[in-house]
Amino acid sequence: MGDHHHGPATGITRWLFTTNHKDIGTMYLWFSFAMFLLGGFFAMVIRAELFQPGMQLVEPAFFNQMTTLHGLVMVFGAIMPSFVGLANWLIPMMIGAPDMALPRMNNWSFWILPPAFLMLASTLFMEGGAPAFGWTFYAPLSTTYAAPSVTFFIFAIHILGVSSIMGSINIIATVMNMRAPGMTYMKMPLFVWTWLITAFLLVAVMPVLAGAVTMMLMDIHFGTSFFSAAGGGDPVLFQHIFWFFGHPEVYIIILPAFGVVSQIIPAFSRKPLFGYASMVYATASIAFLSFIVWAHHMYTVGMPVAGELFFMYATMLIAVPTGVKVFNWITTMWRGALSFETPMLFCIGFLILFTLGGFTGLMLSIAPADFQYHDTYFVVAHFHYVMVAGAVFSMTAAVYYWLPKWCGRMYNEAMGKTHFWISFIGFNITFFPQHFVGLAGMPRRIPDYALQFADFNMMSSIGAFIYGASQLLFLYNVIATIVAGKPVSDEKVWDGAEGLEWTLPTPAPYHTFEEPPQVPKPVGTI
């Protein structure tokens, strides 16, 4: 097989029928960026309406459709597929495999996504409008009281779930079976480790989400009453099921981001990752804990006090492995030889802002205090610090870091740094004041607010427009690099970069590692 080289097919069929992990990775990445822009557009509508008190641009019902679609598109359309795209590109190259273990399934797991999102977006044009019950779609607002388009929403969620499950099975199969000789588990790059654990989380919880939406479907169309008290069901049951999926889901989003940061910080510190083994154990503990903390989203539903205490203690515990990770990254930087190219800037941005989000997470975990925080803008600030500054910043870092390897051309560094600074400042102008309005009592998911929240909301909206606009600069930089960037001469691109992917020629050829490579030395050393 080794001498049987061939390039990609030509035309559209290359993309439709491809089983090549790099092509599929590319499609995932572009798709997720398109969704990022779509979800971002919805966010701009939200922030424009909230620019001032009073209703100006949209009606309350449409506002709720915007918040719902924004959340769904960002979580399921932008963040999750972007990391799957990254996994596709990088996992085979990092473990010395020629491709993913299940290439045809790989093609399917991508190609069912665009129709699912098309269907979800089309609900905007249906009678009664798009789903308007928040990305957490609590019953009975999402069942008895939902617009008819909810059925399409359920179908879309099912497809996304199938796609995620297929993607995860593929990753698990690849990592377990296709590592090059000598690539033992404890030599795998951290990105591979975090994705392996994430894939197990996905396989465990996506079926739970599918169960939740199926029960909704039954309640809506087939006369059951899972979530309706009138028929002997329980609306709170929905929340338990949703968050049993939902909390692991937030770690599904952040673990691959941890992996990315654990690759990039050592490269620009020119020093091996500190505490490799403890990073692996911390990731595994976080994954385990993420299954036993779900009800911290439900402190106000009226749980018995014993339940409340259990979930409070378990949630507080998550701070320990999370702290270990932050300490390890900083110690990796300690006494390195640091340089601050764009990927490193985004990682440092991640480190600072994610840690802030972790602190507010710890505050939220304190049940009695959460009675005051819950469902206010304080929570909105928390999860944007962890999801945007956590997941999106690290994803952006990843693109800048590996793009030269993927396409053999260097991005414009000055433009990259500008993108970082505008993003960083815009992000903080948007979300920092939300801590204040949340503490001062502004509930989330409202289209209009009392006058005392006006100044900070205007600030937030201005920040959001800045942050949004800076993403266009990113898009431009990426396209300009692919089309006309300066060719990269060094295979390694970054002098501090370590790992098998950097031993490949630049740009990475269509087929790589058709012969398994010799794994040189433990990843923990240089």
326 binds, among another protein, ligand HEM, Cu ion, none (CB under 5 to 8 A by kind): another protein
Nearer to ligand HEM, 202 or 250 (CB): 250
Catalytic residue status for 269: no
Nearer to another protein, 105 or 319 (CB): 319
Catalytic residue status for 99: yes
141 binds, among Cu ion, ligand HEM, another protein, none (CB under 5 to 8 A by kind): another protein
List, in sequence order, the alpha helices (H) in 390-499.
Answer: 393-407, 413-439, 454-484
Site for Cu ion in 498-517 (CB under 5 A): none
Nearer to ligand HEM, 100 or 241 (CB): 241
Helix (H, G, I), strand (E, B) or coil at 487: strand
Q: What gap in Å lies between CA 382 and CA 380, rounded to an integer?
A: 5
Catalytic residue status for 70: yes
Nearer to another protein, 110 or 350 (CB): 350
Nearer to another protein, 19 or 228 (CB): 228
Site for Cu ion in 337-366 (CB under 5 A): none
Q: What gap in Å lies between CA 430 and CA 111, rounded to an integer?
A: 34
Nearer to ligand HEM, 23 or 249 (CB): 249
Nearer to another protein, 3 or 127 (CB): 127
Determine contact, residues 246/234, Cβ cutoff 8 Å.
Answer: no
SS3 letters across 55-111: CCCCCHHHHHHHHHHHHHHHHHHHHHHHHHHHHHHHHHHHHCCCCCCCHHHHHHHHH
Amino acid making up residue 190: L
Determine contact, residues 123/130, Cβ cutoff 8 Å.
Answer: yes
By CB under 6 A, name the binding residues for ligand HEM: 136, 250, 253-254, 296-297, 315, 318-319, 322, 358, 361-362, 364-365, 370, 373-374, 379, 382-383, 386-387, 390-391
Rounded to a whole number of angstroms, the minimum distance from the CB of residue 445 to Cu ion is 8
Rounded to a whole number of angstroms, the minimum distance from the CB of residue 372 to another protein is 6
Rounded to a whole number of angstroms, the minimum distance from the CB of residue 328 to another protein is 8
Q: Under rule CB under 5 A, how many of the chain's residues touch Cu ion?
A: 1
Catalytic residue status for 460: no
| Dihedral angle over CA of 425, 429, 435, 439, nearest 10 | 160
Catalytic residue status for 444: yes
Catalytic residue status for 251: yes
Active-site pick, 15, 111, 135, 138: 135
| Dihedral angle over CA of 132, 135, 138, 143, nearest 10 | 50
Determine contact, residues 379/364, Cβ cutoff 8 Å.
Answer: yes
Catalytic residue status for 435: no
Q: What gap in Å lies between CA 447 and CA 453, rounded to an integer?
A: 13
Longest dimension (CA), the chain: 71
Q: What gap in Å lies between CA 296 and CA 290, rounded to an integer?
A: 11
Q: What gap in Å lies between CA 205 and CA 254, rounded to an integer?
A: 15
Q: What gap in Å lies between CA 270 and CA 380, rounded to an integer?
A: 36
247 binds Cu ion (CB under 5 A): yes
Catalytic residue status for 511: no
318 binds, among ligand HEM, another protein, Cu ion, none (CB under 5 to 8 A by kind): ligand HEM
Residue 123 DSSP code: G
330 binds, among Cu ion, another protein, ligand HEM, none (CB under 5 to 8 A by kind): another protein
271 binds, among another protein, Cu ion, ligand HEM, none (CB under 5 to 8 A by kind): another protein
47 binds Cu ion (CB under 5 A): no
Determine contact, residues 191/523, Cβ cutoff 8 Å.
Answer: no
Degrees to nearest 5, angle at CA 379 with 457 and 289? 160
Q: What gap in Å lies between CA 460 and CA 457, rounded to an integer?
A: 5
Interface residues toward Cu ion, by CB under 5 A: 247
**Residues with a known catalytic role:** 70, 99, 135, 163-164, 247, 249, 251, 262, 296-297, 322, 325, 444
